Amino acid sequence: MKTGRVIRSLSGVYRVDVDGTLYDAKPRGLFRKKQVSPIVGDIVDIDDETHASGYIQHIHQRKNELKRPPVSNIDLLVIVMSAVSPSFSTQLLDRFLVIGHSYGLKPRIVITKKDLASETEIATIEKSLAIYEEIGYETQFVGIEDSAASIFDVWEPGLAVLSGQSGVGKSSLLNKYQPNFNIETNEISSALNRGKHTTRHVELYPRHEGFIADTPGFSALDFDHIDKEALRDNFIEISHYGASCKFRDCYHLNEPKCQVKAMVEEGKIPEFRYQHYVQLLNEISNRKVKY
Ligand SMILES: Nc1nc2c(ncn2[C@@H]2O[C@H](COP(=O)(O)OP(=O)(O)OP(=O)(O)O)[C@@H](O)[C@H]2O)c(=O)[nH]1
Ligand SMILES: [Mg+2]
Ligand SMILES: [Zn+2]
């Protein structure tokens, strides 16, 4: 038996990396009966039958698991957003951050396409990034001239997952890191100012001290599993000050003696973060119950 990592899955065939040697393996029939299937990122045991193929006999327990795109055992979630084309948005960023936290991950923020942004746009984004740094996020603002290795160098080892909207440059970053990866990329649509959903599946690529995952861009990442409580807990600074509200179940809307609202007044909590929190809270309240 050999142990390796699923680096991609295409039509029921799982490519497994065992210390740099690749095997195309199929899951054992038993998995189908139990309705569990391996996903990219899984640590699996495969049998030794032949060098190039085999059967997946066992899936090791996952330490975490993203639902969309399906990928497991993530060490670092990287939210990639472009400065322009498509435009930078703190509203979207806050949504992605909350989703990352809901999976137990504190995302890192990478903003691309600095070279395409105007001086005013750069100044605005840098100002926002300083706020996110203060909240506790690590951020990077990069352009075409930055080497990908220098961007990835500061990341922690293990599996780093690039996620973000279509067209922000996730695959381009990987190609720049290792041109041999030869990943398909596409110009963004000028009419819609967004990407064309070029990457269609999750795949892990080797990087120094681990792997890096390219993923399909999303337009509206899965938010359905987040309830009001999770939302409140996953805005770092709101949750921090919320501990001092008069009511323990304060949602920081109109409750008396709300420390969060006081801190917004004082400028300790950025006004825009609070507004995004309220918007997302409303979105959850208005969610239609699905059967
Ligand atoms: N000028 C400039 N262009 C960039 C930069 N990063 C990416 N691009 C361009 O942006 C376009 C989209 O890049 P992709 O790498 O395909 O984007 P993606 O995030 O992988 O998109 P999906 O696979 O659709 O999710 C390509 O034309 C890239 O050349 C950058 O830092 N500067
Ligand atoms: Mg791509
Ligand atoms: Zn409150």
Query: Rounded distance, CA 144 to CA 128, Å?
Result: 21
Q: How far is the CA of 260 from the centre of ligand 3 (A)?
A: 5
Q: How far is the CA of 108 from the centre of ligand 1 (A)?
A: 19
Residues 57 and 78 in one domain: no
As a whole number of Å, the CA-based R_g of the chain is 21
- End residue of a domain, out of 164, 181, 214: 214
Residues 111 and 184 in one domain: yes
Any bridge partners for residue 22, and if so which?
A: 17
Domains: count for the chain:
3
Please report whether residue 249 resides in a domain: yes
Whether 32 shows a pLDDT value over 80: the answer reads: no
For ligand 1, whether the C-beta of 64 sits within 6 Å is no
Q: How far is the CA of 131 from the centre of ligand 3 (A)?
A: 21
Q: How far is the CA of 138 from the centre of ligand 3 (A)?
A: 27
- Contact between 205 and 40 (Cβ < 8 Å): no
pLDDT > 90: percent of the chain: 80
Q: What is the pLDDT of residue 50?
A: 66
pLDDT digits (tens, 9 = 90+) for 198-225: 998 999 999 988 999 999 987 666 788 8
Sheet holding 76-82, edge to edge: 139-141, 108-112, 76-82, 158-163, 210-214, 203-207
- Angle at Cα 163 formed by Cα 161 and Cα 169, nearest 5°? 110
- End residue of a domain, out of 20, 35, 61: 61
Ligand 1, atom 9, residue with closest C-alpha: 169
pLDDT band at 247 (very low <50, low <70, confident <90, very high): very high
Residues 75 and 160 in one domain: yes
Contacts of 59 (CB under 8 A, 6+ apart): 31, 36, 38, 42, 43, 44
pLDDT digits (tens, 9 = 90+) for 143-177: 999 999 999 999 999 999 999 999 999 999 999 99
Residues 150 and 50 in one domain: no
Residues 53 and 130 in one domain: no
**Each residue of 29-43: b (16+ CB within 10 Å) or e?**
eebeeeeeebbbbbb
Residues 184 and 261 in one domain: no
pLDDT band at 190 (very low <50, low <70, confident <90, very high): confident
3-state SS class at 121: helix
Phi/psi for 289 (5° steps) reads: -75, 130
CA 125 to chain centre: 20
Please report whether residue 192 resides in a domain: yes
Q: What is the pLDDT of residue 104?
A: 92
Q: Which atom of ligand 1 is nearest to the CA of 143?
A: 31
Ligand 1, atom 2, residue with closest C-alpha: 113
**Tokens 């699996």 sit at which residue?**
44
Residues 185 and 162 in one domain: yes
Please report whether residue 221 resides in a domain: no
pLDDT band at 194 (very low <50, low <70, confident <90, very high): confident
For ligand 1, whether the C-beta of 185 sits within 6 Å is yes
Question: Any binding-site annotation on 172?
Answer: yes
Query: Rounded distance, CA 35 to CA 252, Å?
Result: 42
The domain in which residue 158 lies consists of 66-214
Q: What is the pLDDT of residue 35?
A: 75
Contacts of 276 (CB under 8 A, 6+ apart): 90, 91, 94, 95
Whether 117 shows a pLDDT value over 80: the answer reads: yes
